Amino acid sequence: MAHELSKAYDPSEIEKKWADFWVTEDLFSLPTPETSGKVFTLLLPPPNVTGRLHMGHMLNQTEMDIITRWKRMSGFKTLWLPGTDHAGIATQMMVERQLATEGKKRQDLGREAFIERVWEWRREYGGAIQDQMKRLGASVDWAREYFTMDENLSRAVREAFVRLYEDGLIYRGKYIVNWCPRCMTAISDLEVVHQETQGKLYEIRYPIIWSAQEAAERRSADAGMPEHIVVATTRPETMLGDTAIAVSPHDERYKNLVGLKVRVPLIGREIPIIADDWANPEFGTGAVKVTPAHDPNDFAIGKRHDLPQISVMDENARILEGIGDYGGLDRFKAREKILADLEAQNLLASVKDHTLSLGRCTRCNTVVEPRLSTQWFVKIQPLAEVAIQAVEDGHIRFTPEQYKKTYFEWMRNIHDWCISRQLWWGHRIPAWQCDACEKHTVARETPQKCAHCGRTELTQETDVLDTWFSSGLLPFTVFGWPDKTKDLEVFYPTSLLITGFDILFFWVARMIMLGCWFMKDRGLAESVPFKEVYIHALVRDAERQKMSKTKGNVVDPIQVIEQYGTDAVRFTLASLASPGTDIAFNPERVEGNRAFANKIWNAARFLFMHREKAGVHGIFWDGETFVASTRLEDVWIRAKLNAATVQVNAALAQYRFHEAAHVVYHFFWGEFCDWYLEIIKLRLNQGETSEDKATTCETLLYSHVIFDTALRLLSPFMPFITEEIWQALYEGKTPKPSIALAEFPISPDSLGEPQVAAGSRAAEDQMAILQALIVDIRAQRAELKVEPKIKVPINIFVNPDVKRIIENNQPMVEKLANVESIRFVDQSLAGSAGARVAPQYEMQVIYEQKIDAAAERERLNKDLVKLEKEFSNNQRQLGNEQFLSKAPAPVVEGLRRRAGELELLLEKTKSSLAQLG
């Protein structure tokens, strides 16, 4: 492909080109390996088919892509498996909304036609998020893409349901569930979000029914005979379904009322006063109305006391016909009317402000109504026990580790899982009800006859399964389960899961439970759906607010990408992705990383320019052996690159994306560009002799090797720009079709080459002295206000060792610090005008202009204060017997060495000050 780089870095053009290339060349498709050795598998948390890419996705996919590319380049057979989720409620709502614009409801179409309509919708609009993923450069295996409603996955869902049923873990029953009257379906506990809401607490008088006999008894006993019992409630409309009043058995106030009957106001039903521990004497009046069909606690009381369950609302949360004057009224309208009617009868004792926690549907924000209905449940305890053990035994590792606690917390207090939904879009429950005996037959295929009575008139269950039921099975169903496939054998358990904490319970926990259960014949350690979980943070806006459509602060990743380029956005997210910390995403921050990309671009152009000038082509590298050089800057940059390599590999192994990004940024900009390229300019801008040309070629070769390695180090973070430059570097003759398939750098030092390591350390020490000297000269020039273009002579006072280092690298010092000439003197320069002292050298800038004595004195005084403070700390520690005996030797040695330096520096600084007068 591209052999040369355009003058200006334009991400939009190159990103489109390579995104297409990766997909059309099928670069990331992985054939099924023979064995599971060195295989890395990652499942993409399937976005909703209705989804549009948001910053959360982008962070998630950037992290997954970095890890995936890193693993792939490091020699793993890497599979990143993409897919989309059919998202029951969300998708059904979307299509219903579309129907509504045509003035239709789903009931007008009927179940089959409606489902066909959803498929149509999916064919037309369902691919949006995949297209967006391609723009991010996500290196997934598109050939294996799945959809949770695909036939093979649907078959697996039925199989899983039937097996759980056969294991006795699925039951059907009439219980209080969370009901959304707008979605008209049951939802699980997790789909209800509780909000503190300012509401009212109403106290209502229920008239006590006194029989003549009881009344007489009371009067003779002088026991008092109250007319009413007052109950407190936040939802007066449910009184229509009251079947008892409960008081605490220990509540003296009500002791002798237990067993009596009261009349439910407005409807006149007689109900008993019962004693139950649930009633809290401290709260309200101590007496609570009991409505078993509309409250989970009341449901439990009802079971204990065998109370009738009277439902008073329909599926839309309207009062049922025939109940007082309230039939057909919406629950909140009914509440108003009931309160007014109570008031009129003087039965409303009081109304108080009361904050309560109101449950709302996560989909549509409608207030959830606890409703008595028949649903399918998963008996969760047996599944949870195994899932807890899997994590306790360390078969799944959480990063950050704190999420393990959250996971245990939830798992240990888990309730049975309501898995049926009254929707049409989804996996229909494989159960058939007998028209005659009304019992259910659960089967993989449509049964011929009832399993209980043998009759043949059967009707399939109309409910579908919770979407999370099918996604909870994905880690094995995507590999062909229930069949025993090769894929399942080599890819399961997957290696890693990267996801947000918001679906820790919805998805992560359920995958663990279901995986451990269905794969249990592999043994616990191998039954888990993934070996590691990395939980990433939330992307917030620049003000740390949660992004939300209603607040209007949602940042559209595609827009930011168009402004700065995908690479810059990816790099920004990576550099902010410190485990466990939410990300405050400010688009302005991307600017800095866009500049970084530009910097790399120009570094490449610099090398290419010289390559052209020198007529040097075909600089290729096998990616393994280092080209030798003994030049200080060459050994030094190699040592720095090795260090960066070691750090990046270590950081990625711990999902410390921010650290890896920082290391690679600092290497490229702070070391390679700022120092190395500046230094080699000396060798690249040489003359025409054959010796000069040879030097240029050597220099180019060496710098290309370094640059090539650095590009591969950066590639997982910025795949596009590195691909573009890498392809150009090899002039179309790349060793691999893509940089993404090239080798990720590993440090030669880490492979055990002690003499190389020693040489590196010496080079680093020498460069550190030269760098310090150069920086000091520059600073002194700035202080003396030497015009930038003027070269100045300098004097240096050093020991012979350092002198040799400087002499060997004199052109470097002269070029980088703009020095005319260096004179080595044999007397201390401390105190001389324009001098600076360091532990290893004394340096004086010779400049005719008069020194600003005041400024110089200020600087020296500041230095002096700092030095004195450090020295006194240093001396205090070194004078401390305890420290000397207890601190580790290297620390003590370090301080001793520093003490010597400090003494010297103090002395020199003081003498300089004295000279200034």
Partner RNA sequence: GGGCGCUUAACUCAGCGGUAGAGUGCCACCUUCACACGGUGGAAGUCGCAGGUUCGAAUCCUGCAGCGCCCACCA
Extract long-range pairs of 172-175: CB within 8 Å, 24+ residues apart. 172/374, 172/375, 172/376, 172/377, 172/431, 172/440, 173/374, 173/375, 173/377, 174/372, 174/373, 174/374, 175/299, 175/372, 175/373, 175/375, 175/377, 175/418
Show the binding pattern over residues 597-626: x = contacts RNA (CB under 7 A), - = does not: xxx--xx-xx--x-----------------
To RNA, the closest distance from the beta carbon of 677 in angstroms equals 4
Give 111 or 862: the residue with its C-beta nearer to RNA: 862
Query: How many angstroms separate the Cα of 152 from the Cα of each of 159, 470, 477, 478, 871?
Result: 11, 12, 8, 9, 74
Q: Are 79 and 40 in contact (CB under 8 A)?
A: yes
What does 22-38 look like in DSSP terms, one character per residue?
HHHTTTT--PPPSSSTT
Range list of H helices, 510-586: 510-518, 524-527, 557-564, 566-576
Q: Which stretch binds RNA (CB under 7 A): 107-115, 405-413, 439-447, 485-493?
A: 405-413
Tokens 């009991």 -> residue: 290
Q: Does 689 bind RNA (CB under 7 A)?
A: no
Q: Does 692 bind RNA (CB under 7 A)?
A: no
Give 363 or 449: the residue with its C-beta nearer to RNA: 363
Backbone φ, ψ for residue 455 (5° rounding): -80, 165
Residue 552: count other Cβ atoms within 10 Å of its Cβ.
7
- The residue within the footprint of RNA, chosen from 122, 172, 594, 638 (CB under 7 A), is 594
Give 29 or 880: the residue with its C-beta nearer to RNA: 880
- The residue within the footprint of RNA, chosen from 134, 363, 778, 910 (CB under 7 A), is 778
Number of residues that bind RNA (CB under 7 A): 89
Site for RNA, residues 651 to 670, rule: CB under 7 A: 656, 658-659, 662, 666, 669-670
Site for RNA, residues 485 to 514, rule: CB under 7 A: 505
Give 341 or 678: the residue with its C-beta nearer to RNA: 678
Give 731 or 783: the residue with its C-beta nearer to RNA: 783
Q: Does 331 bind RNA (CB under 7 A)?
A: no
Q: Which stretch binds RNA (CB under 7 A): 138-146, 255-263, 273-281, 718-726?
A: 273-281
Give 443 or 595: the residue with its C-beta nearer to RNA: 595
Give 594 or 638: the residue with its C-beta nearer to RNA: 594
Task: Please enumerate in sequence order all residues whose Cβ is within 8 A of that of 657, keeping only pairs 6 or more positions apart, or say none.
Answer: 63, 66, 574, 575, 577, 578, 651
Extract long-range pairs of 689-694: CB within 8 Å, 24+ residues apart. 693/614
Q: Which stretch binds RNA (CB under 7 A): 230-238, 444-452, 527-535, 632-640?
A: 230-238
Q: Cα–Cα distance between 498 and 58 in angstroms, integer?
A: 12
Q: Does 8 bind RNA (CB under 7 A)?
A: yes
Site for RNA, residues 354 to 373, rule: CB under 7 A: 356-357
To RNA, the closest distance from the beta carbon of 623 in angstroms equals 24
Residue type at 139 in one-letter notation:
S
Give 149 or 273: the residue with its C-beta nearer to RNA: 273
Site for RNA, residues 332 to 351, rule: CB under 7 A: none
Beta strand 397-399 with 464-465 is unpaired
Q: Which stretch binds RNA (CB under 7 A): 375-383, 696-704, 751-759, 778-786?
A: 778-786
Site for RNA, residues 559 to 588, rule: CB under 7 A: 576, 578, 580-584, 586, 588
Q: Does 405 bind RNA (CB under 7 A)?
A: yes
To RNA, the closest distance from the beta carbon of 70 in angstroms equals 19
Q: Cα–Cα distance between 70 and 719 in angstroms, integer?
A: 11
- The residue within the footprint of RNA, chosen from 345, 381, 402, 548 (CB under 7 A), is 402
Query: How many angstroms separate the Cα of 852 from the Cα of each of 783, 792, 833, 834?
Result: 9, 17, 10, 9
To RNA, the closest distance from the beta carbon of 494 in angstroms equals 25
Q: Which stretch binds RNA (CB under 7 A): 27-35, 84-92, 382-390, 782-790?
A: 782-790
- The residue within the footprint of RNA, chosen from 258, 554, 595, 616 (CB under 7 A), is 595
Q: Does 260 bind RNA (CB under 7 A)?
A: no
Range list of H helices, 546-689: 557-564, 566-576, 587-614, 632-653, 657-665, 678-684
Q: Does 673 bind RNA (CB under 7 A)?
A: yes
| β partners of residue 530 | 494
Give 122 or 781: the residue with its C-beta nearer to RNA: 781
Query: How many angstroms separate the Cα of 611 from the Cα of each of 47, 628, 691, 700?
Result: 46, 19, 16, 7
Site for RNA, residues 863 to 892, rule: CB under 7 A: 870, 873, 877, 880, 882-883, 886-888, 891
Give 296 or 811: the residue with its C-beta nearer to RNA: 296
Show the binding pattern over residues 890-909: x = contacts RNA (CB under 7 A), - = does not: -x------x-----------
Q: Are 187 and 368 in contact (CB under 8 A)?
A: yes
* DSSP H or E segment with residue 540: strand 539-540
Show the binding pattern over residues 56-95: x = contacts RNA (CB under 7 A), - = does not: ----------------------------------------
Site for RNA, residues 286 to 315, rule: CB under 7 A: 286-289, 295-297
Extract long-range pairs of 313-320: CB within 8 Å, 24+ residues apart. 313/369, 313/371, 315/179, 315/181, 315/184, 315/371, 315/422, 316/181, 316/184, 317/179, 317/181, 317/369, 319/237, 319/240
Give 27 or 190: the residue with its C-beta nearer to RNA: 190
Give 38 or 785: the residue with its C-beta nearer to RNA: 785
Site for RNA, residues 194 to 223, rule: CB under 7 A: 194
Give 229 or 490: the residue with its C-beta nearer to RNA: 229
Give 440 or 640: the residue with its C-beta nearer to RNA: 640
Q: Does 809 bind RNA (CB under 7 A)?
A: no
Task: Retrieve residue 102's tokens.
Answer: 């045509």
How many CA within 13 A on the CB side of residue 698? 14
Task: Please enumerate in sequence order all residues whose Cβ is within 8 A of that of 737, keeping only pairs 6 or more positions apart, or say none.
Answer: 25, 27
Q: Cα–Cα distance between 309 and 241 in angstroms, integer?
A: 8
Site for RNA, residues 132 to 161, rule: CB under 7 A: none
Per-position b or e across 471-500, b if 16+ CB within 10 A of its CB: bbbbbbbbbbbbeeeebbebbbbbbbbbbb
Give 286 or 302: the residue with its C-beta nearer to RNA: 286
Q: Cα–Cα distance between 132 and 212 in angstroms, integer?
A: 79
To RNA, the closest distance from the beta carbon of 819 in angstroms equals 13
Site for RNA, residues 410 to 429, rule: CB under 7 A: 410, 413
Q: Does 34 bind RNA (CB under 7 A)?
A: no
Task: Please enumerate in sequence order all residues whose Cβ is within 8 A of that of 828, keeping only pairs 6 or more positions apart, or say none.
Answer: 797, 842, 908, 911
To RNA, the closest distance from the beta carbon of 843 in angstroms equals 14
Backbone φ, ψ for residue 879 (5° rounding): -90, 0
To RNA, the closest distance from the beta carbon of 146 in angstroms equals 28
Q: Are 261 and 209 in contact (CB under 8 A)?
A: yes
Give 8 or 223: the residue with its C-beta nearer to RNA: 8
Q: Are 512 and 532 in contact (CB under 8 A)?
A: no
Site for RNA, residues 510 to 549, rule: CB under 7 A: 544, 546
Q: Does 235 bind RNA (CB under 7 A)?
A: yes
Tokens 């969370």 -> residue: 178
Task: Retrieve residue 394's tokens.
Answer: 């360390």
To RNA, the closest distance from the beta carbon of 488 in angstroms equals 32
Tokens 């709302």 -> residue: 360
Q: Does 782 bind RNA (CB under 7 A)?
A: yes
Give 109 or 358: the residue with its C-beta nearer to RNA: 358
Per-position b or e across 601-610, b if 16+ CB within 10 A of its CB: bbbbbbbbeb
Q: Are 313 and 294 in contact (CB under 8 A)?
A: yes
Show the binding pattern over residues 825-864: x = contacts RNA (CB under 7 A), - = does not: -------------------------------------x--
